[in-house]
Amino acid sequence: MATRTHVNVHSRLTIVSSIPTEPIGSTCGLTAIDHTMASHSVHIIFYYRTNPFTKKGRFALDLDNVRVSLSDLLSKYPRMTGRLFRDGDGNWGVKYNDAGVRMFKADVATTVDEWLSFADESDERNLTAWEEMPDGDPYSWSPFQIQVNQFEGEGLAIGLSFTHLLADPTSGTLFYKSWTDAERGEPTGYQAPIFSLPQLDNRPPPTTTGNTSITTEYLQKKSKLAQFSSEKMATSVFKFSNTMIKQCLSKITDKFPDATPFDYLTALLWSRIIKLKTKIAPSSTNSISLCVDARELLNVPTPTKFFGNALSFSQLTLQNEILESDDGLAEAVEAVHHHVKGIKKEDIFSTVDWLEGSNGVYPPAVQMYGPELTCVSLEHLMIPKEESKDELESLDYEAKFRNNEKPIHVSYHVRNAEGQGLIVVAPSPEGGAARTVTVTLPVEEMGKLCEDPVIRELEPTMIVSGRR
């Protein structure tokens, strides 16, 4: 089993913008949606088989190579290089002071393939640099941090860490993709990001009908849930192949032909996990929190350029007889699909109206992931290929530096997600219908899920799962 001695952090520096922000010292308030996410941090790790920064750039030191394109790109991201502060109402904002992002360099005493075979989530934390926001004045604290990890045999992993108050996992992925594009000299790498959601800023006044949207109702319940369970959690990563997921979808085509890989995997894992839960009160129904991206829902002009939080959380409840029966899977898949499709921009408007209240003071952050089983969709990262619109490719696996080598794995983690569990359904390097699913559960339950016969029949490849 890997230990902390495998990762040796030996360099630290600050990357600042190549062009100062004008006017220096200006501020930007964070949204009500941003504030709901403040209890969490996001950690994304991109693994490569070779290091593209080994003394082939404009400077002798590999980190100097990285700094040039990154520094240029950061000129367009003042929210990343600034520092957090609270305004007169106690709401969070960012001061554009060009203080920069922290970058660390580390060596890993194993190969990247060996690491992916034996490391677990606690080991992966060592590939990301992160310090929790200090109490009191956070003005000297960097809310965005990067760690560059060199493995033996030329493997490389780049870990991004940032407060969820600042941005969501999609924002981190899209920023990183812009960085790799810029490093290759692609013009798309230097396109300016979008920091506001025009539809939210210019939404119609709230109605007074008394009707509650599914997302607002969810948040009202969420704010009353107990925070941060102390139960020890474990994480496993399942890679389901394109062939296997297509076979699974074909089996339910006659009952529900519109199912997506996310629909299927969410329903399947939900049904399997509730069978092994031991600490929930008996009930005739079960609920799951679904987290989906709302960029297209809010008609963002260029969805892939919005940097911030654009997430929709809502709750789906089904009868146990559906979830626990062998014949109920197709019905559960259909329920997940229609629930996600049923989320409208008016639901987001209603949520923001409720969060903003009448006095301009946003409510305290709550634990959005984990108090009840939560499933996150990253399906929107799958986009049509330029050469073949009928085939899909993933934005995160198109993050190629100057040697045009794609990542061999991308890990997504959200911290402070203790409780009933977290499922993240993400793209896979294989493309197509293949998906990489990261599951976090209480330790005892995770052991049972890894041995579940229905899951094992799908023949998933397990990586970064502690040799499970």
**Strand locations in 241-394, DSSP E?**
285-293, 311-319, 374-377, 382-384, 392-394
No. of H helices and E strands in the chain?
15, 18
pLDDT tens for 149-194 read 999 988 999 999 999 999 999 999 999 999 999 888 888 777 889 9
The dihedrals phi and psi of 412, each to the nearest 5 degrees, come to -120, 125
Q: Give, in order, the Cα–Cα distances in Å from 369 to each of 171, 374, 382, 414, 468.
A: 18, 6, 23, 8, 24
Q: What is the pLDDT of residue 357?
A: 75
Matching residue, tokens 């799958």? 382
Confidence tier at 366 by pLDDT (50, 70, 90) = confident
Query: Average of pLDDT values for 363-378?
Result: 91
Residues 144, 216, single domain; the answer is no
CB atoms within 10 A of CB 119: 25
Amino acid type, 309: N
pTM, entire model: 0.93
**53, 148: one domain:** yes
Alpha carbon separation from 216 to 313, 335, 356, 361 (Å, rounded): 9, 20, 12, 17
With respect to residue 77, please indicate whether it lies within any of the assigned structural domains: yes
Return mean pLDDT, the chain: 87
For the chain, the residue count is 468
Q: In whole angstroms, give the CA distance from residue 177 to residue 399.
A: 5
Measured between alpha carbons, how far is 75 from 70 in angstroms, rounded to an integer?
9
CA dihedral over 380, 173, 434, 240, signed as positive or negative: negative
Say yes or no: 293 and 430 in one domain. yes
Identify the three-state secondary structure at position 430.
coil
Any domain includes 401: no
CA 268 to chain centre: 21
> How sure is the predictor about 95, in pLDDT bands with cuts at 50, 70 and 90?
very high
Give me the residue label for tokens 């409840």.
317
Q: What does the pLDDT read at residue 22?
A: 84
Question: Which of these three, 155, 179, 199, is where a domain ends?
Answer: 199
Residue 204 lies in a domain: no
- Measure the CA–CA gap between 363 and 354, rounded to whole angstroms: 10
Task: Count up the domains in the chain and report the number.
Answer: 2
Same domain, 342 and 245: yes
Q: How, if at all, do strands 311-319 and 41-48 pair?
A: unpaired
- Whichever domain contains 294, its CATH number is 3.30.559.10
**Is there a domain that residue 131 lies in?**
yes
Q: Within a domain: residue 402?
A: no
Q: 5 pLDDT exceeds 80?
A: no
Work out the average pLDDT over 36-54.
91
Domain shared by 261 and 172, yes or no: no
124, 218: one domain: no
Range of the domain at 455: 210-395+408-463
Helical pair 62-74 and 169-183, crossing angle rounded to 10 deg: 120
* Within a domain: 227: yes
| Look-up of token digits 């002009």 | 301
Q: Are residues 427 and 278 in the same domain?
A: yes
Which of 136, 168, 199 is the last residue before a domain boundary?
199
